[in-house]
Structure formats: structure tokens, C-alpha cells
Amino acid sequence: MHKPTLYTAVPSRGGMVLWMLAECGTPYDTVVLKLGENNRSPEYLAINPLGKVPALNVGSKILTETVAIITYLAEQFPQKQLIPAEGSIERGEYYRWMCFALQLEYGAIDKRRGIENPPEIRSSIGYGDFETALNVLRTHLNGREFIVGDRFSAMDLYYSGLLDWLNKMQLVSADEVFDRYTGRHLARAAHLQSLEQEKVLAESV
Ligand SMILES: N[C@@H](CCC(=O)N[C@@H](CS)C(=O)NCC(=O)O)C(=O)O
């Protein structure tokens, strides 16, 4: 793979990509933006027209959307086994939980805005209602180490990052199942390494 360049900000979802790059053990360059200052510059809008981070320049193309970036990276480094085998049912489950994560994320934002979905909206909006969706995840993770299959994948990385964020935003209260799940994965060496890298990047801007 072409040496990628990560456009990020600290703190931001870019932290998850730093973690993933550390899991892959691949060299990369970084460009650190200051949100609200230079992420809407014409130069950056040419990279991501939404003016958001993270974005990953992989040479011929730019990738955006954190979960797409980490999934792409997982596929680039098959020897790291960070995504279930192509064509396996576990890969299907990986996609299931990938789509579910995005629903949950927007359910959380709705909750943060104090939006309670009335029944007619619940029946058409993908996540239904936030608490029920969260409970589906909790029930799935109860007694499991990994969200799919029997080894750590990029989807565990994404859910650990998402649940950690929901916890910090106080959108999920202290919970034994989530705490055990995220605690295990956030303690991974690659995550700790990415936190150190984030500190360095924060000081560079
Ligand atoms: N769907 C995108 C969301 C990206 C996003 O919202 N990034 C935030 C930081 S975590 C951002 O760049 N905000 C700055 C802005 O919108 O001005 C992803 O998953 O990567």
C-alpha cells in the first residue's frame, strides 16, 4: 500500500484511525487540523468537501468516514487478521454491526439533542429508539469478548471508540457489559501507542 497520509484533529474520530494504523503497524504521515480554524479552507475542502476529519489519502484516492477507513486498512493487511475472512458469515456479521454502529451513533446524537422519537418515526427510522438499540448491543456483547467471530477485529476497535465516546458524553451510564468490553480492547498496546501519538500531534499544532 502507498504510504497513507491521515488528516486528523485532536481530539476527533481520527483517534480511531491512529489506533487502526498502529494495529496495522504501517508507517504513515499526518496533517493535523484545527477544527473551526482550517478544516474549511479551500485546500482541505478539496480533500473532504464536508470539511470533516478524518480523511486518509491513499495515493490515488481520498477515503473519508472512519468506519470505511478502518475497514479498508483491515483489508490491506490480511496478515493482521483484523477483519473476518471474505465470504464468511462472520464477514456478513461484520457488515451488520458496521451499519448498526452508524445508526447507533445518530441515535446518540438525537438523544443528545433531546429528541424522543414518536412511534410513527420509530417505525421508519433505522435505529427505532436509542435505548432499545443500545440494549440490542448490550445483549449481544454480554458474555462476548469480540463483536464478531472469535478474535479482535476493526469492528471491536470502532465499537470500543464509539462506546468510550458515548460514555464521555454521558449518553451511556456506567454499565458492566460495556465497561468490560471496552476496557479489554482499550488496553491493547496499539491503542495505548495511538494515545501517545495523539499527545504528540496535539502539541504539534
Ligand atoms: N461520518 C464521519 C464523521 C466525521 C466527523 O463528524 N468529524 C468531526 C470530528 S470527530 C469533524 O470533523 N467536525 C468538524 C466540523 O464538522 O466542522 C466519520 O465517521 O468519519
Q: From ligand 1's centre to the CA of 19, what distance in Å?
A: 17
- 34 shares its domain with 102: no
Separation of alpha carbons 82 and 97, rounded Å: 15
- 44 shares its domain with 16: yes
pLDDT over 70 percentage in the chain: 100
Q: What is the mean pLDDT of residues 54-81?
A: 97
User: Does 165 sit in the ligand 1 pocket, CB within 6 Å?
Assistant: no
Q: What is the CATH number of the domain that holds 17?
A: 3.40.30.10
- Chain-wide mean pLDDT for the chain? 96
Q: What is the mean pLDDT of residues 114-141?
A: 94
Q: What is the pLDDT of residue 14?
A: 98
> Which atom of ligand 1 approaches the CA of 12 most closely?
10
- Domain that residue 145 falls in: 89-151+153-187
The residue contributing the CA closest to ligand 1 atom 3 is 65
If pLDDT is split at 50, 70 and 90, which confidence band does 76 have? very high
- 123 shares its domain with 46: no
How many distinct structural domains can be found in the chain? 2
Strands 62-64 and 29-32: unpaired
User: Does 39 sit in the ligand 1 pocket, CB within 6 Å?
Assistant: yes
pLDDT at 60 over 90: no
> Which atom of ligand 1 approaches the CA of 67 most closely?
19
Q: What is the CATH number of the domain that holds 129?
A: 1.20.1050
